Chain A
Amino acid sequence: MARIAVDRVSMAFETDNEHRFVLKDLSLDIADGEFLTIVGLSGCGKTTLLNLIAGLLTPTSGAITVDGKPVTGPGPARAVVFQDASLLPWRSVLRNVELGVEMQKRYGKEEIRERALAHLETVGLPDFANAYPHQLSGGMRQRVNLARALIAEPDVLLMDEPFAALDAHTRESMGYELQRIWAESRKTVIFITHSADEAVTLSDRIVVMGRPPNGIIANLDVGLPRPRSMEVRGLPRFAELSLEIRELLSKAGARS
């Protein structure tokens, strides 16, 4: 069964008294436990689509269902890893992670604390529990951002360019870490990136979006063996896919 079904969704924004469609009749199915990546030019509607799935936006028309149930609003079952870490600056790292679960009233105070510590361990920051966000590097903040989403025990992880602000090296190693975490938990992941290489390294499937409101212009199965490590970049299939994505994007950019 498709875990997430986006069914002929359209989204328009009001600007200066006119309706401008960003998405038009877009359909997309995502399988349970699938790692799906969306790539596309800036402004093509990736974030909009992600926010629709998260329930932060309501579509102008069409419907989104998760396990057959329509999405009516945001909730921790679809945790978002935000583009800029969006940590609460007045809370310590530990308390920021706790935020992910504390409002669900699922666990007691102590249990929440233990879990938060465990998740900090998972993302490799056990020593920074009492630090404040402004004392962390960009990469560390993104790890906290990820831990906050993981602690919510979501069925779906929605990740909007989570590594965009990081340097190339940190970015790559965070990617492998994410892959490890995903392999352990088998959550459904929707991941947005501008990097073709990152998309190929991480995903089961890649969706390429064209100029708005064209929506999805290509649907690529990656089919590379897992677990993937740095060596995967040397495989011919990797180069082939990466090139194909780049070509699609540049064609979409030129066709204006």
Chain B
Amino acid sequence: MNRRWIPRLLGLVIPFLAWEVASRTGLMHPVFLPPFSTVLWQVVTLPGEVWPDFLSTGFEIVVSLLLTGFSGVVIGVVLAQSEKLDALLGALMWFFYAAPLVVFTTFFIVTLGVGPGVPICLGIMSGIVFVIASTRDGVREVGKDLVNVGRVFGANPLELALRIVVPAAVPMIMAGLRIGVGRVLVGVIVGEFFASGGGLGYLIVRYGNELDMARVYAAVAWIVFTSILLNTGFARIERSFVTWRPV
């Protein structure tokens, strides 16, 4: 236990110390790399200064995640119904998965205008493929027996989807969301970065233009916190859903 914590602690302390020293001694230009302690202070004070930007990033992430989850599940369930439809849309989906997301930025800015729409759309676009694919696979794996249970006891197609198929696929859907959530965040930040309305991504650009680098790093730090929070949060939610899996 102790053995592992010593290198871990050193691994955190040394880089930050080196940062502080490099900046204080002028080895790195302090305008471009302000001392770590200054940045740390900005990390603490930033939320108080620009809370509307924190709110708008949070809002965009939440909306983006909800829409990604909802439409991803719907599309995934539909694709699971038919091999042919899946093949027909497969290449198109793969194209949007593999294409670098940023190329669509300008397109969204031109069509939607500057504002929260761009980050939300980019977030959905970058995360949804994972939810679709994993929902589709999850639904395909739902046992014929469970589907037959629904059919026998009078479920119409919608009830079959809502009460049997989708709940049975929830562990897979959650796995898709867990992978997708990181990408949703990237999409949102890219959107804010270019469609300069507000939010953490926008702050980076704005402070960058003002050469206020301490605040740039503080905003980056908050994005990293958000990312870690979302990842661990979803990993935990996913695990809590899996508890009823073994029967």
Contact = CB atoms under 8 A, between A and B. Distances in A.
Interface of A: 54, 56, 73-76, 78-80, 82, 84, 86-90, 99-101, 103-104, 132-134, 148, 152
B154 to A, nearest CB: 4
Contact of B154 (A54, A104, A132, A148): A104
A103 B153 contact: yes
Contacts of A134: 244, 246-247
B154 A76 contact: yes
A90 B145 contact: no
Contact of B153 (A87, A89, A90, A152): A152
A76 B154 CA distance: 6
Contact of A90 (B149, B159, B167): B167
A96 to B, nearest CB: 9
**Does more than half of chain A's interface fall in helix, strand or loop, or is it mixed?**
loop
Given A79-B153, A103-B153, A103-B154, A132 B148 contact: no
Interface in B215-247: 244-247
Nearest to A135: B247
B247 A87 contact: yes
28 contacts: A54-B152, A73-B151, A74-B152, A75-B152, A76-B152, A76-B154, A79-B153, A80-B152, A86-B143, A86-B148, A86-B149, A88-B146, A88-B167, A88-B168, A89-B245, A90-B167, A99-B149, A99-B163, A100-B153, A101-B153, A103-B153, A103-B159, A104-B153, A132-B244, A133-B247, A134-B246, A148-B153, A152-B153
Contact of A99 (B143, B151, B153, B156): B153
Interface of B is mostly: helix
B145 A86 contact: yes
Given A100-B153, A103-B159, 15 more contacts: A56-B151, A76-B153, A86-B145, A87-B247, A88-B146, A88-B149, A88-B168, A89-B245, A90-B167, A90-B170, A103-B153, A103-B155, A103-B163, A104-B154, A134-B244
